[in-house]
Amino acid sequence: MNSFYTRTQWIEENFMEIKPSSEVVLDLKYATTDNFMKEDIYAGFQRCFMSPVAGRMFLKACEVLRKDQPHLQFRIWDALRPRSIQARFFDFLAGTPFQSYVANPYPGSLHNFGMALDVTLQTKEGELLDMGTYFDDFRDIAQPKLEGHFIKTGELTPAQLENRLLLRKLLEDQGFKVLDHEWWHFNALPKEHVYEKHPILE
């Protein structure tokens, strides 16, 4: 079982599918060549899955978005990811200054459990909100923990920070937590509540 396609039934039984809607656009970057690997890692698999726990949290965020920001949509870049793909990412960055951006496949990234979401906001006309960087940007300016510094230097504008904070509020109000070095990455539960307690996609 070395592809999404051969594991689809098991995935459908254990995870929740997130489908496009008025609040959600799918742009799964690892099913394209527009990613740091410059390769279609998912072999064109374009369906988006999350753990049922995380999926329900995300759908609540969609309800809030529909009510409070009806001109905006979530654009999902990645969610459930096989551990085998995680290993490829980890090996690709091993020995580089960017290795810390990819979790070790053992015990695994929360993406491998469907408990993590890479996401941004866009207008319903398809224009991405300016967050100061794009997806999978390994520069320090992408790190939420350094936003205060980059606001002071002027490299991150107040408008860009406001957009990040809007995304963060929508998701963190439902229990997600932003990763401290990737503004687009949100975890649904702490690792200690996930490992050995939820199914992992190998």
Q: What confidence score (pLDDT) does residue 97 get?
A: 84
The mean predicted confidence, pLDDT, of the chain is: 94
The tens digit of pLDDT for each residue in 38-97 reads 999 998 889 999 999 999 999 999 999 999 999 999 999 999 999 999 999 999 999 888
CATH of the domain at 66: 3.30.1380.10
Number of domains the chain contains = 1
Residue 198 forms part of a structural domain: no
Q: What are phi and psi of 49, to 5 degrees?
A: -130, 150
Is residue 1's pLDDT more than 80? no
Instruction: Report pTM.
Output: 0.94
Residue 199 forms part of a structural domain: no
Average pLDDT over residues 149-168: 98
Residue 103 forms part of a structural domain: yes
Residue 202 forms part of a structural domain: no
Is residue 6's pLDDT more than 80? no
The tens digit of pLDDT for each residue in 94-123 reads 988 888 888 899 999 999 999 999 999 999
Structure token pair of residue 166: 């809007």
Q: What confidence score (pLDDT) does residue 60 get?
A: 98
Question: Distance (Å, rounded) from C-alpha 143 to C-alpha 137?
Answer: 9
Residue 20 forms part of a structural domain: yes
Q: What type of residue sits at position 115?
A: M
Residue 85 forms part of a structural domain: yes
Q: What confidence score (pLDDT) does residue 3 get?
A: 63
Question: CA–CA distance from 79 to each of 70, 106, 147, 152, 186 (Å)?
Answer: 23, 18, 24, 33, 10
Q: Which domain holds residue 80?
A: 5-193
Exposed / middle / buried, residue 108 (Cβ in 10 Å: 0-12, 13-18, 19+):
buried
39-44 long-range contacts (CB < 8 A, ≥24 apart) are 41/85, 41/88, 42/4, 42/85, 43/3, 43/4, 43/5
